[in-house]
Amino acid sequence: MQLVKPIVKRCLPYELINALWWLLRPEPSNTLGFWRLLLLKRYPFRFLVQLRLLYLELTRKPVFLAVSEEERKGFDRNFRYRHRFGRQRVERWLRVCAASNKSFRDSRLLIIGPRNEAELILAWLHGFRWDNIFAIDLFSVSPKIAVMNAERMDFPDDSFDIVVACAVLPYIPNASDALREMARICRPGGILLLRNSYYERLPNPYFSRPMDRYLGSMEAYLDYVFFREKEPIEIDLRKAGIADSGTAPVLVEYAGVYIKKQPKEGVAKC
């Protein structure tokens, strides 16, 4: 015991310095680093997002884009649920991005229809640079989310390496126009990530469009589809803004495609 104490005393400062260096060291290029990994944990991430959303609600007024009657129902639902966030679906498209071998740090990312900054914060924690993350929606309380219609975007051609439209296509009346815009602003060799909810007998006609129909409408722009996945789920029709009550089995479809540039003539309508 007498011999152990001096050894422990001699080692403790070294171990303490080593631990501090591990916490505060610069992030290696191939890892997320300690602080990002910590904030990706369930409760720290939830606290960070809720704190940020509360700050924005208290300091900024919502900005709205004029919408048509067709878009009104989806718009009202999304604004009512503007504080909600589906982390699981976002991390799925982040894994698809990683599988495409795109460099998160160097890629310019556009997220369509995020409602709030939670998706943007999650993308940043996974390695995207904050300055390279952009988003658009029909309403916004964030300086990072531009108020813009997906059918008529103001971005120049070839602006982004990755474009994400997660759970927004069924709410866009002219989805073929939106997909054409996504292809226009995506660079050659860039990727487009789509998520669609499909059930042919739902009361809302826009949910009766399968993923193959969307991909077919932009066939002239597709290089190839590198990811497809289908997942059957049960949804609450009232919460989804589709019907007043009831539930229904819905097929959730994911697709990741590489974009090429072709003339815009001959693009089919959804």
Best mean pLDDT range from 59-63, 91-95, 103-107, 127-131? 127-131
Tokens of 211: 């993923």
Ramachandran sector of residue 246 (left: φ over 0; alpha: ψ -120 to 50; beta: rest): left
122-133: b (≥16 Cβ within 10 Å) or e: bbbbbbbeeebb
Is the Cβ–Cβ distance between 50 and 118 less than 8 Å? no
Tell whether the model's pLDDT for residue 169 goes beyond 90. Answer: no
- For 21-66, the three-class secondary structure string (H helix, E strand, C coil) is HHHHCCCCCCCCCHHHHHHCCHHHHHHHHHHHHHHHHHHCCCEECC
* CATH number listed for the domain at residues 31-259: 3.40.50.150
Average per-residue pLDDT for the chain: 80
Cβ atoms 251, 198 nearer than 8 A: yes
Tell me how far apart the alpha carbons of residues 236 and 81 are, in angstroms, rounded to a whole number: 14
For the cut 50, the answer to whether the pLDDT of residue 211 exceeds it is yes
The lowest-confidence range among 138-152, 208-222, 234-248 is 234-248
Residue whose C-alpha is closest to residue 194's, from 226, 220, 223: 226
Model's pTM, two decimal places?
A: 0.81
What would you measure as the largest C-alpha separation in the chain, in angstroms? 86
Top pLDDT among 83 and 48 is at 48
In the structure encoding, which two tokens stand for residue 252, read together? 């959730």
For residue 74, the model assigns a pLDDT of 65
In the predicted structure, residue 159 carries a pLDDT above the cut 80: yes
Q: Is the pLDDT of residue 142 over 90?
A: yes
pLDDT one-digit tens code per residue, 219-232: 888 888 989 988 88
User: Can you tell me the distance from the alpha carbon of 242 to that of 113, in angstroms, rounded to the nearest whole number?
Assistant: 18
